[in-house]
Structure 1
Amino acid sequence: MSKDLTTGGIAATIFELAWPTALAMSLQTAFRIADGVFVGMIGHKAFAAVTVIFPIFFLMLGFASMIGVGCTSLIARCIGGLRREQAVSAAGHGFALAALFGVSFVALGLTFQRALYRLMGIEETLMPMVVEYGTWLFLWAPFVFVGEAAGSILRAEGDMKTPLKIMAAAVVLNAVLDPLLIFGIGPFPRLELTGAALATFLARVFGCVLIMEHVLRGRTGVQPRFRGFRPRARTLGSILWVGLPASINHVIMGLTGMVFIWILTRFGAEAVAAYGALARLNGIVILPCLGLGTAVLAIVGQCVGAELFGRAEKVTWRAVLYAVVVMEGMGLLFFLTPGLWPRIFVREPDVVRYAAVGLRVTSLSYMFMGASIVVAAAFQGAGHGLPALVVTLLRLVIIAVPAAYVLSVAVGLTGFWIALAAASVAAGVVSAVWFKAGTWKRPSRL
């Protein structure tokens, strides 16, 4: 059943929604750490191959987030405004979009992946490993899209615990299969990098089946209807109005990630592996902020639907405060002990040295990163996806990419890390100022 997020204590409501999401993502990240350790044991080239695929995975998440964010925002606003039939229609449209994008991603990915890797400047000695892992990535895409569509219903209703349970089950399966398939333990064949990809594929399918079973058996307040379904341009437009900017955010991150790897290839596979280690560590750091952002999106969505703008604003700034405190603490820890953490994934001295420098530099920008994540979610919940997109363009396209190229040429690899940190600081400041201006209170397209 749907929860009323327009009443109750602010701190209690935020944490009630945030902790299950943060814990679910923590479980997934804990597995990724273990997965990274296992892949790193194969060798730093295998780790570099997975790093190459990471931006493409971000592209896939970008299109999936278009469905997830757009549907969550629309369904939450419909629930807050007591428009139940519109919420049901939005859920059905979400599944239609998921099927379309899932199949398209598989077809295009398998057809053009080699050309894409060459465009990224991947050396031929690394190409077989990249293709090996990338093929499985494209095959699990439909399950990611459908799972995101189902999850949007639960998030909009304020049910964060069911996705946590499903994520936990999928992570456990992935964690069990990973060493068995990578190293060939017992009766299982030794598949190495293919084993890591196959384990993730099977876990994704398992998680998708579980969440679809939950939705289709009538355990949610909003029930999608497939019989006699007809797409409506207005509903699709409402989803895309919020979801497309969020999608473009991820697409930009994925594309700029490819550019970053192109820049780093000048410094060798060790620099690419260091970037991969840093990306995984940053993924750990932002987990609380992602949980806070998910909570803020749902709460702000229902509050805006009920025209409770004051509560929406208070919730956002309180969540920003929590994010800044957590991120500042993690940033201080990483700044003081930068050489310790990359060793979780890699042991080669050059890779550890490169990653340690990057961690010390980028940790200075963590609190700004946290603020921008939470504020972006607030804009999306209010039905205004454009500000988050503009801030991402500012951070990555206008600042990070040009600065990373110029500074890496002028200063070396340290210049690359400085560019990333400066871009995060700018994004945090601009996000906060823009939200304070109050443009999100204007009516959005519904």
Structure 2
Amino acid sequence: MSLLGRLIAWVTRRFGRLSGAFKGPEEFDLTDGDIAKPLFYLSLPIIVTNLLQTAYNLIDTFWLGQYSTEALAAIGFGFPMVFLLISVGMGLSVAGSVLVAQHIGADEEEEAEYAASQTVALSLLGALLLGLVGYGLVNELLGLLGASQDVLPLATAYMQVITLGMPFMFGFFVFIALMRGYGDTITPMLVMFGSVLLNVVLDPFLIFGWGPFPELGIQGAAIATVFSRALALVVGLAIMFRGTRGVHIRLGQMRPDLSFAKKLVSIGFPASIEGMGRALSINLLLVIVAFFPDTVVAAYSIGTRVFSVIFLPAIAVARGVETMTGQNIGAGNPDRAKAAADFAARTTFVVLGALGVIAWIGARPITAVFTDNPEVVDVGVTFLRYVAPSFGFIGVMRAYNGSFRGTGKTLTAAAIVLVIYGLVRLPIAYSLSQTTLEYRGIWLAFAASNAVGAALAYGWYRRGTWRDVDVTEGPAAPGLGDDIEPSTDD
């Protein structure tokens, strides 16, 4: 057995006691039978994976918060920019996941392998180009976002490392997406666990200069993250090339196919727009937040990191709905896909509503975990308490957007995001921040846009998402030798 095989077997044994909770795709059918159980088993590892993914950010936030307030404010500018860069290319991973899911649902293994192989090749190439462009524009973009003179050099140092490591960071997201499309959410979870563990160990050594390492500050946090992601990508690629767990990729099928690239982009571009809409909203909100002192920027950074943890169930279930929808559309079961989306929306509304109550009650101790600056804590408490009552609405919007993506209607999901962020959140945030509410007006904008987003997604879904889904021709997304363009019209 190879070193990789022994590593996977060792990690699997260590997780053996959780076998009753985590089940692989061979143990449930996404296209037949009960909905709740397969959605739960599909989503639970995604929650853990996303929690581990968020741990990267939280670990950096914690250690840099101990390092200096300026460093904490710097990652407040750095993280949204990372999100923006990744969002530009994330559409390809979404498209690849949808293609794989629909072909697997239609029992088209060869088409699924080709789609996965092409997605990996095109995504890594795109990430390399994006990283090089981003490296050259980092300082200017951060300056436009309003970073102060004390914060700008720190944020620039962080982002220069991150942009150069973009292929490693984005490549692992592609691995997660393709395995999810197949129905395997456990393997990415295990690989992510090892990567986060490595990052936990490296962070304080590189930030503070413990032992033989030099004190690198915020740049050390970036190096730890990139190195950890690079190792995770190597493991992920090895798993996919072996093909014994989840999706199988082949080197001979990775030569860029321009005709397939067009099909991939036709699905993925709207998904990139959706991600960019979210990222641009966060970045433009930073411009508004930057009108206030660095203590407000630091509190905003903490708040958005906390939200990224709280929203994990909604994000995970939405990804599960995306996979279930894709496989059921491929198998010709649109009614089952619709039932999965409705069930997910109800469930996440209740779960996130309960988490909102917890966040409201525990706002002060939650914020105090990341900083001992009393001013930052006070502002962070107001952020959490203003937004917490709207958490349930995030679950509704995410669930239905996941269903839109699973049918290939990525344009619909993108339109909803652009409306709630561009026409609701940003205008309200700017307008109210200019009143006596000051920064509290920005917090109110979060709550208002969450409620509007849920109403819009639900209404759009009810207007007839399934009317124009033609399952008689097989998967909505094209496969090998198939010239049918995926429909994104609504």
Decide which of 148, 152, 155 is 2:177's aligned counterpart: 152
* Match of residue 121 from structure 1: 146
* Match of residue 178 from structure 1: 203
8 Å CA contact 1:408, 1:416 repeated in 2 = yes
Query: Percent identity between the aligned chains?
Result: 30
- TM-superposed CA distance for 1:441, in Å, is 4.7
- TM-superposed CA distance for 1:293, in Å, is 1.4
Decide which of 309, 325, 342 is 1:284's aligned counterpart: 309
* Match of residue 161 from structure 1: 186
8 Å CA contact 1:5, 1:303 repeated in 2 = yes
Question: Could you say if the C-alpha distance between residues 351 and 222 of structure 1 is closer, same or farther in structure 2, counting changes exceeding 3 Å?
Answer: closer
Per-residue CA distance 1:127-159 (angstroms, 9 max, x = gap): 210111111110221012322333333111111
Question: Could you say if the C-alpha distance between residues 136 and 242 of structure 1 is closer, same or farther in structure 2, counting changes exceeding 3 Å?
Answer: same
Secondary structure, aligned partner of 2:371: coil
Question: Could you say if the C-alpha distance between residues 219 and 135 of structure 1 is closer, same or farther in structure 2, counting changes exceeding 3 Å?
Answer: same
Question: Could you say if the C-alpha distance between residues 228 and 298 of structure 1 is closer, same or farther in structure 2, counting changes exceeding 3 Å?
Answer: closer
- TM-superposed CA distance for 1:37, in Å, is 1.3
Superposition pairs of residues 344-423 of structure 1, within 5 angstroms: 344-410=369-435, 411-423=437-449
* Match of residue 465 from structure 2: 439
Per-residue CA distance 1:365-401 (angstroms, 9 max, x = gap): 1000111112111111111111111111111101111
Decide which of 250, 260, 280 is 1:255's aligned counterpart: 280
Decide which of 61, 65, 70 is 1:36's aligned counterpart: 61
Q: Could you list the runs of 5+ residues in structure 1 that have no partner in the other structure?
A: none
C-alpha separation in 2, matches of 1:218 and 1:327: 36
Q: Which moved more, 1:60-69 or 1:271-280?
A: 60-69
1:426 paired to 2:452: yes
- TM-superposed CA distance for 1:231, in Å, is 4.3
Decide which of 35, 45, 54 is 1:10's aligned counterpart: 35
Per-residue CA distance 1:171-209 (angstroms, 9 max, x = gap): 100011111212222222222212211111110101101
* Match of residue 14 from structure 2: none
C-alpha separation in 1, matches of 2:322 and 2:374: 42
8 Å CA contact 1:101, 1:145 repeated in 2 = no
1:428 maps to amino acid: A
Decide which of 223, 228, 251 is 1:226's aligned counterpart: 251
Decide which of 26, 44, 50 is 2:51's aligned counterpart: 26
Decide which of 299, 302, 313 is 2:324's aligned counterpart: 299
- TM-superposed CA distance for 1:359, in Å, is 0.9
Secondary structure, aligned partner of 1:55: helix
Secondary structure, aligned partner of 1:46: helix
- TM-superposed CA distance for 1:85, in Å, is 2.9
1:60 paired to 2:69: no
- TM-superposed CA distance for 1:336, in Å, is 2.5
* Match of residue 320 from structure 1: 345
Superposition pairs of residues 210-225 of structure 1, within 5 angstroms: 210-220=235-245, 222-225=247-250
Return the TM-score normalized by structure 1.
Answer: 0.95
CA root-mean-square deviation: 1.8
C-alpha separation in 2, matches of 1:2 and 1:67: 23
Q: Could you list the runs of 5+ residues in structure 2 that have no partner in the other structure?
A: 1-23, 470-475, 477-484
Per-residue CA distance 1:249-281 (angstroms, 9 max, x = gap): 121222222211111111111111111011011
- TM-superposed CA distance for 1:300, in Å, is 0.8
Question: Could you say if the C-alpha distance between residues 221 and 329 of structure 1 is closer, same or farther in structure 2, counting changes exceeding 3 Å?
Answer: closer
Q: Which moved more, 1:98-107 or 1:395-404?
A: 98-107
- TM-superposed CA distance for 1:335, in Å, is 1.9
Return the TM-score normalized by structure 2.
Answer: 0.87
Question: Could you say if the C-alpha distance between residues 336 and 148 of structure 1 is closer, same or farther in structure 2, counting changes exceeding 3 Å?
Answer: closer
Q: For CA contacts below 8 A with separation 6 or more, give which structure has more relative contact order.
A: 1
Per-residue CA distance 1:393-436 (angstroms, 9 max, x = gap): 11110111111111100231111111111011100111112112
- TM-superposed CA distance for 1:294, in Å, is 1.7
8 Å CA contact 2:241, 2:250 repeated in 1 = no
Secondary structure, aligned partner of 1:122: coil
C-alpha separation in 2, matches of 1:25 and 1:16: 15
